[in-house]
Amino acid sequence: MIARVLLAAWLATSHCVWAEPATTVDAPVGSPATRGLLYEIRPPAGAPPSYLFGTIHSEDARVVELPAPVRAAFHASPSIALEVVPDASAIIRAMVTMSYTDGRLLRDVLPADLYLETADALAEIGMPEEAFKDLKPWSVVTLLSSPPSETGEFLDILLFHRAVADGKRIEGLETMTEQLAVFDDLAEADQITLLRETLASREQLPLVFEALIAAYIARDVDQLQHLSEQHLAESDPRLAAHFQEVVIDARNRRMVDRMVPLLAEGGWFIAIGALHLPGDQGVVALLRRRDHGVTVVF
């Protein structure tokens, strides 16, 4: 189930055979935009505009080659905000959080049959036992439910590197600790359940990825939300409700709280997973409720 949630969040940054820019629109408060990944944000106090860009965690060439409207907004913005700043300290924090530090090993936590199945699955993606022996179950789930990587230059990482090269001011809307707590705070029994579900659904993942990519290419954020809800509906209802709240809704509120002071300054390019954009509890609707003008640029 966590795999489905992670896919939903992954879909928030994807491939794009970028189409022509959409007509600029300003929808009423609370109504989701059905098309659009790039938005102009105007705060109520009249500061210069900022931009909000929906991403998907992909290294596909069609994604990392940004379309002209996105490039223009990025270059026009002296400051950039990401969900998390992926610098060395954040990577180290992630590595530490994903592993047991109390002397236990994954083999000690998982039932014997599940451990063997997990080891076989990780071997298929090139991970020997030495590389995963001290990982927590939720960490294994993230590995098994992510698209295979070849370059490591995912869209969000690329935006970070370009911002550094351009000398832009860079801020994170969340800390790595906050993001990982969503999974690290899960009861161990729930982590094991999610690992079993992930292993059982692995063969379906390529089709799921393609569906998410197709919706992102079409800039159809409503369809992204629909796919996410569809996957959650196939999972344990208790865990599905939990993840909808902690992975999406609560993080939307937190990120908007931290965006608002930046938007009051103006000149920001804010890049977050596209799944955070749509819906009545999405970032676009939450900003409109705070009297920010939000218009689709692309």
Give residue 58's pLDDT. 80
Predicted confidence (pLDDT) per residue in 160-215, tens digit: 999 999 999 999 999 999 999 988 999 999 999 889 989 998 888 888 888 888 88
Joined together, the tokens standing for residue 134 give: 């001290």
Rounded alpha-carbon distances, angstroms, from residue 167 to 112, 152, 162, 255: 51, 22, 9, 23
Predicted confidence (pLDDT) per residue in 77-100, tens digit: 999 999 999 999 999 999 999 999
Joined together, the tokens standing for residue 217 give: 């290419």
pLDDT at residue 8 is higher than 70:
no
Within-domain flag for 36? yes
Tell me the angle at which helices 188-201 and 137-144 cross, rounded to the nearest 10 degrees.
20
CA distance 38 to 36: 6
Predicted confidence (pLDDT) per residue in 233-278, tens digit: 666 777 778 778 888 899 999 999 999 999 999 999 999 999 999 9
Q: How many domains does the chain have?
A: 1
pLDDT at residue 6 is higher than 70:
no
Closest residue by Cα to residue 181 from 112, 94, 109: 94
Within-domain flag for 127? no
Half-sphere exposure of residue 26: CA atoms within 13 angstroms, side-chain side = 9
Identify the domain containing residue 255 by its residue range.
Answer: 2-98+136-296
Confidence of residue 15 (pLDDT cuts 50, 70, 90): very low
- DSSP H helical ranges for 133-171: 137-144, 155-165
Q: State the sign of the Cα–Cα–Cα–Cα dihedral 250, 253, 258, 259.
A: positive
Give residue 215's pLDDT. 86
Residue with tokens 């676009």: 284
Q: What percent of the chain has pLDDT over 90?
A: 60
Give residue 216's pLDDT. 84
Give residue 258's pLDDT. 98
Q: State the sign of the Cα–Cα–Cα–Cα dihedral 188, 194, 195, 196.
A: positive
Q: How many CB atoms lie within 10 A of CB 146?
A: 17
pLDDT at residue 27 is higher than 50:
no
Within-domain flag for 58? yes
Joined together, the tokens standing for residue 72 give: 């223009």
Predicted confidence (pLDDT) per residue in 131-143, tens digit: 999 999 999 999 9
Give residue 252's pLDDT. 96
Give residue 146's pLDDT. 81
